Copies of this chain bind each other. A is one copy, B any other.
Amino acid sequence: MVQEKKKKCTVCFEPSGLCIDVPPGSTLLKAAQQVGVYLTSICGGDGYCGKCKVIVDEGQFESRPTTLLTPEEMRENVVLACQTKVLSDMVVTVPKPHALETSQILLDTDTQRFSQLAAEVPEGVFEFEPLVQKLHVKMSPPTVSDNTADHERLYLAIRKQIDAPIMQTGCRILQNLSKMFRESDYDVSVTIGRRGGTTEVIEIEPAERYRTNYAVALDLGTTTVVAHLVDLTNANTLDTEATYNSQINFGEDYIRRIIYAEQNDAFDEMQNRIVHDVNNLIVTLASRKRIDLQDITTVTCAGNTAMIHFILNLDPTQIRKEPYIASAGFVPPIRAAEVGIQVNKRALLYCLPSVAAYIGSDIVAGILVTRMYTKDGVSLFADIGTNGEVVLGNKDWLVCASSSAGPAFEGSGVKHGMRAGAGAIEKLQIRRDGSSQIKTIGDGRPAGICGSGLLDTLGELFINGIIDRTGRIKQNHNPRVREGEDGLQYQIIQPGNGYQEIFITQADIDNLIRSKAGVFAAIRVLTESTQIKPDDIDIIYLAGGFGNYLNTKQAVTIGMLPDIPLEKIQYVGNTSIAGAKTVLLARKALETAEDIANNMTYFDLMSHPGYMDEFIRAKFLPHTDLSLFPSIKAQAKQVKGS
């Protein structure tokens, strides 16, 4: 039956019940984006990631043929939202795995948990001196013999308390000065903010207000946005919150988002999305703690270079084109309101500095928090997220590189991969009998495998000889190894008893190996260039959203990190948010972050002559050159020999 085309089609999404009118011919993905229904879309709508599956309950549509759907799924009216055009009013169900609406702020245990993975803010290292402070300023009222103008009287009084050689005050503040001083009898609270070498008088209020001063630190991740609410009067973190980055509808990684924005002139929308996410977090935190948004005077943020560009609406298009140039690495503080963040309208937004297009302020934050820039010995910092960024160095030098090996350890490009949320397998051991011993986040039924679980999976498969050194699944009469749609796959969880089957495919394994190889090759480029041997490395800091049960040993087993004693490998969690919080509390820390960013030498891996070789060599487990992994060599032998 061919239905007559309508001018507008109403598409409703279940279970949220959100509906939107779209012109016929729109894709379901677009409709979902417009109404704010979250659909995973790693490929940005190109039809090859297969993540945007939805179920059509009612209505006419037209779908492009795809190999990404099983015959069962087709029978059940599952479609790829990005490949499906709306032809009539429709009702569509969004299946659980990506059932997240952007209107749903609080991401319960998933992101709550993630938000607690923050590295510790280094204590006692920086003097407690917030970027934005409220000072209690009491001046003696003027007399005929002491007739200094109000504005200069204020400056004199401020300079008695703090070092502020260069000061600035906006016209709006000056206009109220006279009245404010007389009403308060020259006893006021003065909010001052630091802008480079300049101290700005941001606000003048009645004296008692100096005791109320809050701030928000942000980690703008490609996948997850984390916010910490901080009391600036005592440096206490009051609460934390996290949400998915709702730009994710436009592509799972930021390169795809840049392309999408270019093709659709959607930079403003990209900014709106992230600002919307940030506002959701802030409003949630503030209302939970009964804090007036007007009392938030500072926002700091760290994130990769693209995310910083998105939130400021700087042009990010050159980030993805050779020679990969950011609009700005060092962004001056601006009013948070200027980008739409709903805090005090004169509050300042500080972005931590970045080093290059692919070494963002999240990495600078990591160096700040681990304090490797102060140490005599050499440290290695590796942040495994959507990309794998690596920094090597000590107090005298810092080198860094970024491997764009893909977000496999964040669960993308892995059939049963998922983020570190409820039900994710975060710990896995393969027993002698071939059965799996697992631990899931929240201890519920397993729904997929998150970063630390994937690390375990790869390591266990290798150690147990289920895959060979190239990662190939061996057809060893292992009952868990079966032929799937895309070749061999290994069954981690058997179906039945209400459990869903969870397995890992050859393609998944290849993706994970590519990711780990990218990270290791980056490390090799840095260590070779600086002639640092594994023994020279005092400590490895591993950052990222793996989960608290991360088994650092597995990172060595699979050859992602150099083979050094395990006690020298430290999982530091989310150092990005920790860095954002550190600078919030200590303006010297922001200066230090700037020094770090200035002093880091960036290696562009794509143009580095040795990188490709290193990458190919690292695509073995643990590596083609086993002499680099003596402990694994021994262990592998032991297992085989047992």
Q: Taking beta carbons and an 8 Å cutoff, which residues of A are in contact with B?
A: 142-152, 165-171, 174-179, 182, 195-198, 312-315, 317-318, 322-332, 334, 338-339, 354, 356-357, 602, 604, 606-607
Contacts and interface: CB of A to CB of B under 8 A. Distances in A.
A310 B541 CA distance: 59
Contacts of A607: 144-145
A247 B142 CA distance: 29
A318 B178 contact: yes
Given A144-B322, A147-B357, A152 B327 contact: no
A178 B331 contact: no
A623 to B, nearest CB: 27
A175 B315 CA distance: 6
A326 B150 contact: yes
Contacts of A323: 142-144, 146-147
Contacts of A327: 149-151, 174-175, 177-178
Nearest to A315: B178
Contacts of A165: 197
Contacts of A312: 171, 174-175
Given A144-B606, A149-B328, 5 more contacts: A151-B328, A168-B198, A174-B328, A176-B315, A178-B315
Nearest to A321: B182
Contacts of A147: 323-325, 356-357, 602, 604
B314 A166 contact: no
Given A143-B323, A151-B329, A166-B166, A315 B198 contact: no
A359 to B, nearest CB: 10
A605 to B, nearest CB: 11
A325 B153 CA distance: 10
A545 to B, nearest CB: 27
Given A171-B338, A604-B144, A326 B197 contact: no
Nearest to A316: B178
Contact of A170 (B150, B171, B334, B356): B334
A531 B176 CA distance: 41
Which of A149, A198, A322 has the most C-beta atoms of chain B within 10 angstroms of its own C-beta? Answer: A149
A329 B195 contact: no
Contacts of A314: 174-175, 177-178
Given A197-B197, A313-B175, A168 B332 contact: yes
Contacts of A332: 167-170
Contacts of A142: 323, 325
A198 B165 CA distance: 11
Contacts of A315: 175-179
8 contacts: A144-B604, A146-B323, A147-B323, A150-B325, A152-B328, A178-B315, A196-B198, A198-B198
A195 B178 contact: no
A627 B178 CA distance: 47
Contacts of A167: 196, 332
Contacts of A182: 318
Given A174-B331, A315-B179, A332-B168, A149 B338 contact: no
